[in-house]
Amino acid sequence: MSASRPSETDPHSSATPDAAATPDAAVATGGARPARGGPARSGRPRGSGGPGESHARAWTGPGWGFVVKLLIMMVINAIGVMAIMSAYAAGSWVVLTVLVVLLALADWIYFSRRTLPLKYLYPGLVFLAVFQLFTLAYTGYVAFTNYGTGHLGSMQQAVDAALIQAEQRVEDSPSYPLAVVREDGEIGFAINNDGVVQVGTEEEPLEAVAGAVVDTAGTPIEVPGWDVVPRAELFADTALQEQVVELRVPVSDEAADGSIRTREGSTGAVYSSSLTWDPAARTLTDAETGTVYSPDDRGNFVSSDGQRLAAGWYVPVGFDNFVRAFTDTAYAGPLLQVTAWTFGFGILTVLTSFGLGLVLAMIYNDQRVRGQKVLRTIFILPYAFPAFMSALLWRGMLNSEFGVINEWFFFGANVDWLGDPWLAKFVILWVNLWLSYPYWFLVSTGALQALPTDVMEAARIDGAGRLRQFTSISLPLLMVSTAPLAIASFAFNFNNFTIIFMLTNGGPAFPGASVPLGATDILISAIYQISGVSGGRADYGLASALSIIVFIVIGIISALAFRQTRKLEEI
């Protein structure tokens, strides 16, 4: 399909690119750019090349291109090392390993002579591997776990969370005057314990310091070795407030002694958890009731009488998520409807917009119609308007109370376009038709103009009528070039999250359903609602399982598209 393939290439208009500008651009995107090069061809060869020597032999080693490459690689190494140090500080070993490998590979590739193709492929491959291949694979992994609310993170994190959740203020704990202190970005507490100022951080238990100054209320105002954070700053900085409220300073090396916490940043008290963790037996014991919680294979701590702690960790659960999608009564019904509508929407929207675009292309691909250029420009206006704005614009226009559609065309009746399941579906098709028929108009016009005229002439001479010419010649020939696009368009609309979410937000909700799905949700918007990435209850496992189903559908469609393309080309 080459409706109007850009083909004019004028080597004169685009003179040699500014050599200094290109490396800058490469740095800006974080990609290493191969900038290796010898001396410029016009440059005088260094060294002792005799006058009779061919200048191809006058290569004398690295020139300015090498310097540029060196500079870029220095910047990349600096950034890489900074990222590695940051990962080390955070203790993210997986990220650290990946960063080290990527950086080492980059250095090897750009300083070795044997990796020529990789010099050009590497930057793109890195991004492809991390942000596409990995995410696809990771989706596959998450689909087989119960990752989600109540099962976030590892078992150790679940233990920590359980200990914190069971934390209470120790009943007879006194209130200590407290100040927030800081050093090198690390914050800690300084408390006044009966005239002795003690300082500690999350890692370091409380320890007395000498030479501290307290004010009349007993609050430490000067602590040697630490900066006391002024109260005003604490009030102004919400991020710092959060840190302070989260901070636990152990009273001693013994975890059972509890830790100092503060609610408001001026007094502290001892808090301790009613649960204790036994790493050897892998059990949590409630000190008050004596209940013992032990881990089960679903990623929960459960007591012998069936009580479950809220905090859990994620574990592989096999095909549970898939089974749940198809059999769980809360999900199966709505998801079936969502799937049906996804296909219905994808097929209908391609058919309607392709149909309208093709008809318009046939009507106005006619030299006798005047003002073709103007008409064409107006026809494609909706396509040039950004899609998400169109959806929002129509959402306002279709508002049942104040929308202009009701005012202008329905005599002010309050037709609830977006609130009725069938009307909402119709509206989505209608708006998407408005959005995408210009695309098909453009494509069909291009395809029509590329049709061979001699075949049409031969058909006319053979006595074929206009209808016959169209159905037997134009349409089959058009399909060769447009069928792949139609399939691609179907695949696109199959995942057209924007129009659904912006126009109806999936609503109206299924009546009586316990899941947050609605009549116009398609699979991807259903995944969005279930996943809980925007807040609410998260179920990454089920959402990923549905993503896998979408991938399978897309894979089948793509395979069909390939075969179809080949079949049609044989016509």
Partner 1 sequence: MTTLPSPTRARTASRRRRWLAEVGWKYPVALVVVFYAAFPLVYALSAALDERGSLSGSEVLFRTVSLNNFSALGDTLFWTWVGNTLLVGGAAALGAVLMGAAAAYAFSRFRFRGRRASLTTLLIVQMFPQTVAFVAVFLLLITLGEAVPLLGINSKLALICVYLGGALGANTFLMYGFFNTIPIEIDEAARIDGASHAQIYWRLVMPLVVPILAVVGLLAFIAAFGDFILAKIVLTGQSNWTLAVGMYQWVSNQLTSNWGLFAAGAMIASLPVLALFLSLQRYIVGGLASGSVKG
Touching partner 1, residues 464-493 (CB under 8 A): 481, 485, 488-489, 491-492
Distance in angstroms (rounded) separating the CA atoms of residues 510 and 517: 6
**One residue of 379, 504, 507, 529 binding partner 1 per CB under 8 A:** 379
Contacts of 14 (CB under 8 A, 6+ apart): none
Query: What string marks each residue from 30 to 59 as x (binds partner 1 by CB under 8 A) or -?
Result: xx-xxxxxx-xx-------------xx-xx
DSSP code for 497: H
Q: Could you tell me the smallest distance in angstroms from the CB atom of residue 375 to partner 1?
A: 6
**Residue 347 contacts partner 1 per CB under 8 A:** no
Find the binding residues for partner 1 in span 135-174 (CB under 8 A).
135-136, 138-139, 142, 147
Max distance between CA atoms of the chain, in angstroms, equals 111
Tell which positions 486-525 bind partner 1, by CB under 8 A. 488-489, 491-492, 495, 497-498, 501-502, 505, 524
* Nearest residue to 271 via CA among 251, 298, 294: 251
From 156-164, 166-174, 292-300, 538-546, give the range in contact with partner 1 by CB under 8 A. Answer: 538-546
Question: Toward partner 1, which CB reaches closer, 285 or 496?
Answer: 496
Among 189, 226, 434, 510, the residue binding partner 1 under the rule CB under 8 A is 434
Report in angstroms how near the CB of residue 455 gets to partner 1 at its nearest: 21
Are 311 and 162 a contacting pair, CB within 8 Å?
yes
Q: Among 214, 229, 240, 392, which residue sits at the site for partner 1 (rule: CB under 8 A)?
A: 392
Reading the block at residue 108, the tokens are 């090897």
For partner 1, give the closer residue by CB, 262 or 544: 544
Closest approach, Cβ 33 to partner 1, in A, equals 7
Q: 72, 159, 180, 360: which one contacts partner 1 (CB under 8 A)? A: 360
Tell me if 264 sits within 8 A of 180, measured CB to CB: no
Is 157 or 175 the residue whose CB approaches partner 1 more closely? 157
Give which of 401, 423, 420 is closest to 412, Cα–Cα. 401
CB-CB contact of 210 with 193 (8 Å): no
Contacts of residue 549, defined as CB under 8 A and 6 or more positions apart, other chains included, come to 322, 325, 523
Shortest distance (Å) from residue 79 CB to partner 1: 10
| Closest CB 547 distance from partner 1, rounded Å | 5
- How buried is residue 94: exposed, middle or buried, by Cβ count under 10 Å (0-12/13-18/19+)? exposed
| CA distances to 93, 200, 300 from 90, in Å | 9, 20, 27
145 is written with which tokens?
């776990």
Task: Identify any residues that bridge with 268 across adjacent strands, giving them in sequence order.
Answer: 176, 262
Q: Which stretch binds partner 1 (CB under 8 A): 160-168, 227-235, 437-445, 563-571?
A: 437-445
Task: Note whether 226 binds partner 1 by CB under 8 A.
Answer: no
Q: Is residue 550 at the binding interface for partner 1, with CB under 8 A as the rule?
A: yes
Q: Smallest distance, Å, CB 383 to partner 1?
A: 8
- Cα–Cα distance, 104 to 324 (Å, whole number): 44
Among positions 207, 366, 454, 462, the unique one binding partner 1 when judged by CB under 8 A: 366
Tell me, what DSSP letter sits at residue 133?
A: I
Contact status, residue 508 vs residue 519, Cβ threshold 8 Å:
yes
Residues 80-139 within binding reach of partner 1 (CB under 8 A) = 83, 86-87, 90, 92, 94-96, 116-117, 119-121, 123-125, 127-128, 130-136, 138-139
Residue whose CB is less far from partner 1, 323 or 560: 560
- Helices 387-397 and 421-449: crossing angle in degrees, nearest 10, is 140
The residue range among 166-174, 303-311, 441-449, 467-475 that interacts with partner 1, by the rule CB under 8 A, is 441-449
Q: Which of 177, 268, 403, 516 binds partner 1 (CB under 8 A)?
A: 403
Among 364, 400, 425, 509, binds partner 1 (CB under 8 A): 364
Which C-beta is closer to partner 1: that of 285 or that of 525? 525
C-alpha 188: how far from its chain's center?
Answer: 36
287 φ, ψ to 5°?
A: -65, -30
CA pair distance 460, 462, nearest whole angstrom? 5
**What's the half-sphere exposure (Cβ side, CA atoms, 13 Å) at 378?**
5
In the bound state with partner 1, the residue whose beta carbon lies nearer, of 116 and 287, is 116
Query: Which range touches partner 1 (CB under 8 A), out of 339-347, 383-391, 419-427, 467-475?
Result: 383-391
Query: Could you write out the DSSP letters of every residue in 417-481?
Result: TTTSHHHHHHHHHHHHHHHHHHHHHHHHHHHHHTS-HHHHHHHHHTT--HHHHIIIIIHHHHHHH
**Window 4-33: residues binding partner 1 (CB under 8 A):** 4-9, 11, 14-17, 19, 22, 25-26, 28-31, 33
Nearer to partner 1, 386 or 476 (CB): 386
What is the footprint of partner 1 within residues 407-426 (CB under 8 A)?
407-408
| Number of amino acids touching partner 1 (CB under 8 A) | 134
Q: Return the residues of window 323-342 that contact partner 1 according to CB under 8 A.
A: none
Q: Cis link prior to 508 (omega < 30° from 0)?
A: yes
- Please give, one letter per residue, the 3-state secondary structure of 320-351: HHHHHHHHCHHHHHHHHHHHHHHHHHHHHHHH
CB of 219 to partner 1, least distance (A): 32
> Phi and psi dihedrals of 43, rounded to 5?
-70, 150
Q: Which is nearer to partner 1, 219 or 444 (CB)?
A: 444
| CB nearer partner 1, residue 355 or residue 386 | 386
Which of 267/505 has CB closer to partner 1?
505
Is the Cβ of residue 60 or residue 175 nearer to partner 1 in the bound state?
A: 60
Residues 250-289 that bind partner 1 (CB under 8 A): none
- Of 302 and 497, which CB lies nearer to partner 1 in the complex structure? 497
